Amino acid sequence: MNIAILGYGTVGRGVDGIVRANIPGVEVTRILELPDRLTNPRMTSNYDDIINDPSIELVVECMGGIEPAHTFIVRALNEGKHVVTSNKAVVAAHFGEFAQLSEKNDVSFLIEAAVGGGIPWIASIEKARRIDEIRSFSGIMNGTTNYIIDSMRRDDLDFDVALGRAQELGYAERDPSADIDGIDVANKTIISACVAFDVDCVHDLPVTGIRTLTKSDLDFFAARGLTIKLFGRGESKEGRYAVAVEPVAIPLDSLEASVPSNFNIVSLEGFTVGPLKFYGQGAGSLPTGNAIVQDVIDVQCGRKQRYDFSRGLEYDPALLMGDYIIRSTVVDVSTEAWAPGYWLLRNLTPPQAREMLNKVQREDASAFMVALQQKG
CB closer to a second copy out of 14 and 247: 14
CB closer to a second copy out of 61 and 298: 298
Choosing from 24, 25, 41, 274, the residue that interacts with a second copy (CB under 8 A) is 274
H helical segments located in 262-371: 285-300, 350-363
Distance between CA 369 and CA 13 in Å, rounded?
39
- Please give the residues from 25 up to 54 whose contact with a second copy meets the rule CB under 8 A: none
Binding mask 98-137 for a second copy (x = CB under 8 A): --------------------xxx--xx--x--xxx-----
Choosing from 43, 93, 157, 276, the residue that interacts with a second copy (CB under 8 A) is 276
Specify whether 81 is catalytic: no
Q: How far is the CB of 141 from a second copy (least distance, A)?
A: 16
Q: Which of 127, 188, 237, 304 is catalytic?
A: 188
CB closer to a second copy out of 113 and 360: 113
| Burial of 72: CB neighbours in 10 Å, binned 0-12, 13-18, 19+ | buried
Binding mask 284-323 for a second copy (x = CB under 8 A): x-xx-xx--xx--x--------------------------
The one-letter amino acid at 38:
L
SS3 41: coil
Mapping DSSP onto H, E and C, the string for 158-187 reads CHHHHHHHHHHCCCCCCCCHHHHCCHHHHH
Q: How far is the CB of 97 from a second copy (least distance, A)?
A: 28
Q: How far is the CB of 157 from a second copy (least distance, A)?
A: 17
Q: How far is the CB of 251 from a second copy (least distance, A)?
A: 9
Regarding 277 and contact with a second copy (CB under 8 A), the answer is: yes
- Please give the residues from 8 up to 27 whose contact with a second copy meets the rule CB under 8 A: 14, 18, 22-23
How many residues comprise the chain? Answer: 376
Q: What is the largest CA-CA distance in the chain?
A: 68
Residue 187 sits at the vertex; the CA angle it makes with 178 and 74, to the nearest 5 degrees, is 115
SS3 content of the chain, % helix, strand, coil (to 5): 40, 25, 35
For residue 42, give every residue at least 6 positions away whose Cβ sits within 8 Å of its Cβ, in sequence order, or none: 28, 29, 30, 31
User: In 3D, which of 375, 201, 238, 247 has the Cα closest to residue 318?
Assistant: 238
Q: CB of 50 within 8 A of CB of 2? A: no
CB closer to a second copy out of 100 and 300: 300
- Please give the residues from 238 up to 267 whose contact with a second copy meets the rule CB under 8 A: 253-255, 257-260, 265
CB closer to a second copy out of 83 and 265: 265
Angle between helices 69-78 and 88-105 (to 10 degrees): 10
Q: How far is the CB of 92 from a second copy (least distance, A)?
A: 24
Q: Contact residues for a second copy (CB under 8 A)?
A: 14, 18, 22-23, 118-120, 123-124, 127, 130-132, 253-255, 257-260, 265, 270-281, 284, 286-287, 289-290, 293-294, 297
Q: Which residues are catalytic?
A: 188
